[in-house]
Structure 1
Amino acid sequence: MAELVVALDFKDSEAALNMARQLRGTAKWMKVGLELFTAEGPSVVRGLKGMDFKVFLDLKFFDIPNTVRGAVRSAARLGVDIVSIHALGGERMAQAAMEGSREGASLRSNGPGDPPRVLAITMLTSMAAGDLPVDGAPEPSQMALDLAVKAEQYGLNGVVCSGLEAERIKKACGKDFLCLTPGIRPSGSSSDDQRRVVTPAQAVLNGSDFLVMGRPITNAASPRDVAQAVCEEMLSL
């Protein structure tokens, strides 16, 4: 069953945690990305875990294998449930990330736990054909599929991809290979800076396991009502 992940794209923890409080009992997952984590660091993750949320730490690690191993180890030790790396980092980086995930989970202060799932970024949903700065590059959906197949071969738990690509990725990599999809927009809403967007219903029908939605929920007059409507749409399929 697909799950909703609310993107807490705020500039400070006060605003982020206040939004999370409004959504308790509606959404189980929160996403902490670059802006919020750079501003507040691990404390915001601890705050969310203290409210019993599951946390997707979306920092898109992309570096030499040893550095990524250490970064994922720190994230796992913090208690996050999903962490993202870039598929373009290749096999050695991916395997180092998986090692760091296991190591960090064994070092938690409250005792060993399950390691976070490591998902590989394929193509950002803000990118469309012609955005890649490489002549002759494949179109985004094909590149996402190619990178997903590699990620599955590397032993990663899944990928971050558009809902437009989830169905093909599931067919190529298996139903247990996770697809987390940003760029989710309710029918008729603004796509903002996203390019390859789908509705919640489309994403679920295409096989997405996690649907990430930020501004349509967090900028709404009643974030809880919007989140509840999205969850109901997902469950109705």
Structure 2
Amino acid sequence: MPYSEVVRPSDPVEAVLFLTRLPLRWPLPNPRGARASWAWPLAGAVVGALAAAGASLALAAGLPPNVAAALALVVQAFATGALHEDGLADSADGLWGGSTRERRLEIMRDSRIGSYGAVALVLSLLIRWSAVLALLAQGATWGPLIAAGALSRWSPPAMLWALRPAREGGLSRLIGRPAGATLALGGATAVLVALLATGLAAASAVLWVGLVTLAWGLLVRARLGGQTGDTCGAAQQLAEMAALLALLA
């Protein structure tokens, strides 16, 4: 595959526009979808940096670390429009709320949140808040949040590459399937960002993100027969938790 087909200068901008709600004004006449997913870790690094900036400002203002950790998550949610949290909630409701593949997909289309989705959101927020709080207590703010943001944004492209779409319509089918070279470049980008942000501590985070993504992909394939946009968003949330906990450990 020609290098120009794998990488284009506009890909990082497209990644930020797609994965965040940041008020950028940048025309993209020909969006590349999954072909630009190698740059999704860069968008994740931006979100992580914004969260770290929010936590640092809170600490500088004299707020306690527990409040600073909460504000970091607030910044993340506003920056992304809670896109991945929504996917986690819908995936939890569908995968555990339905007894058949068709019923699970039907539940995931429903915008209302059920008990499984609510529990998943609460646990995700609690785990991430606890991890960020502990990292702040250790004096680590920028590096872990940037590394976790980058590494976790590799998981959705991995899902798109490994699994076929579970339904005919939907966002994941519209985005398409990344090529193997695109996925590999995205992985290398995520690892490089993590290494620059946290040093060799990134190795354990890379390992756990890979294992969690693999386990989630196998579960999704078993229960849905393929991926959806919601399950890709859920993969990001699970990978971020794994990365934060690995960096904390």
- TM-score with structure 2 setting the length: 0.23
- Compare the two structures and name the one with the higher helix fraction: 2
Larger relative contact order (C-alpha < 8 A, sep ≥ 6)? 2
- Compare the two structures and name the one with the higher strand fraction: 1
